[in-house]
Amino acid sequence: MKAFVLDRYQKQASLRLADMPTPELREDEVLVEVHAAGVNLLDAKIRSGEFKLLLPYRLPIILGHDVAGVVVKVGARVRQFKPGDEVYARADDFRIGTFAEFVPVKEASLALKPKGLTMEEAASIPLVGLTAWQALVEKAGLKKGQKVFIQAGSGGVGTFAIQLAKHLGASVATTTSAANAALVKRLGADVVVDYRTQDFETVLQGYDVVLNSQDGKTLGKSLRVLKSGGRLISISGPPDPEFGKEIAAPGFVKLVMRLLSSGIRRRARGRGVGYSFLFMKANGVQLQQITRLIEDGAIRPVIDKVFPFSSTNEALAHVESGRAKGKVVIKIK
């Protein structure tokens, strides 16, 4: 099969188009013929080696976490899916590789593609949808009437998280540029802060939840917009000891996580708020719940641009530029 391969960790390295063997299928997996693949900042971070401690991949590897396609083969223990099913998923850690013609996905991580969505639209959903769900529903328990601040509202996670928070009945604030203000308002943002001319710390106060996706300076400022008892959830780090336990990290990695997050955890305690790091996990059951929201019209995909398979490196560069509004997708079939 054709695939885009990472040979060595390096910032802005080009992936190599190669002929690779079709992956061997395990008993609990489904082989998906990839029709479209979402592109995420996570792919660029893995390429540059930023996640070597958390995800010690053996190179070369095929990148790509989001897939929409058709089941072509099922493992011996698979019961929920059959060849011909149109499906979508966030590929499993250590089995990623959606920048290819075929990818194996665990049955437990897969869901039927939402009715009414194209393959490209479906491929834009899994990673950002599950990130928003696990942050706002699972970790924060966001409730009707609460206030949530979602950073970078016009990005992939932001465009989905705003819609999900609105569906849950929360009041939503976000940051974006003036050029994207109308977009995030359409998605449901109640308060829009222009990050180029305003400081969100002076505009927002008394928030129940902050979803942080930016740098360390922004993380520190985010503490100050939360009310006592609020929750700061970061998808951009630093990892905390709880996350180290979740992934059963080796002792020295747990120690590194404890040290990296000690400052923000101490400041959070001092303000009476909680801090947690989220590295989203593949989850087919949650994806089924997201499917229902999409089919009910509560959430719609936001796609910035669709690239042909041959332009996978250009798609990755576009995501890394930070200019995309919503998701970037690669059309493979």
- Mean pLDDT computed over 303-330: 97
Structural domain boundaries of the chain? Answer: 2-125+301-331, 128-277
Identify the pLDDT of residue 218: 95
Identify the pLDDT of residue 149: 98
Higher pLDDT, 245 or 313: 313
pLDDT-derived band at 12, boundaries 50, 70, 90: confident
- Mean pLDDT computed over 67-96: 98
Q: Which of 60-69, 122-131, 236-245, 302-311 has the lowest mean pLDDT?
A: 236-245
- Mean pLDDT computed over 233-246: 92
In this predicted structure, the answer to whether residue 62 has a pLDDT above a threshold of 90 is yes
- Mean pLDDT computed over 154-167: 98
Identify the pLDDT of residue 55: 87
Average model confidence (pLDDT) across the chain: 96
In this predicted structure, the answer to whether residue 51 has a pLDDT above a threshold of 90 is no
CA 193 → CA 58, 62, 102, 172, 315, distances in Å? 42, 38, 42, 11, 28
Question: Are 170 and 148 in contact, with CB atoms under 8 Å apart?
Answer: yes
Identify the pLDDT of residue 54: 81
d(Cα 39, Cα 195) in Å, to the nearest integer? 25
In this predicted structure, the answer to whether residue 40 has a pLDDT above a threshold of 90 is yes
Residue from 227, 190, 223 nearest 208 by CA: 227
Burial of 74 (0-12, 13-18, 19+ CB in 10 A): buried
Identify the pLDDT of residue 263: 96
Identify the pLDDT of residue 290: 98
Please provide the DSSP assignment of 300-328 as one string.
Answer: ---EEEEEEGGGHHHHHHHHHTT--SSEE
Residues above pLDDT 70, as percent of the chain: 100
pLDDT-derived band at 66, boundaries 50, 70, 90: very high
Identify the pLDDT of residue 4: 98
128-277 has which fold?
Rossmann fold (3.40.50)
Identify the pLDDT of residue 53: 80
In this predicted structure, the answer to whether residue 248 has a pLDDT above a threshold of 90 is no
d(Cα 213, Cα 192) in Å, to the nearest integer? 16
pLDDT-derived band at 33, boundaries 50, 70, 90: very high
**Per-residue pLDDT tens digits for 270-294:** 999 999 999 999 999 999 999 999 9
Q: Which CATH class is domain 2-125+301-331?
A: alpha beta
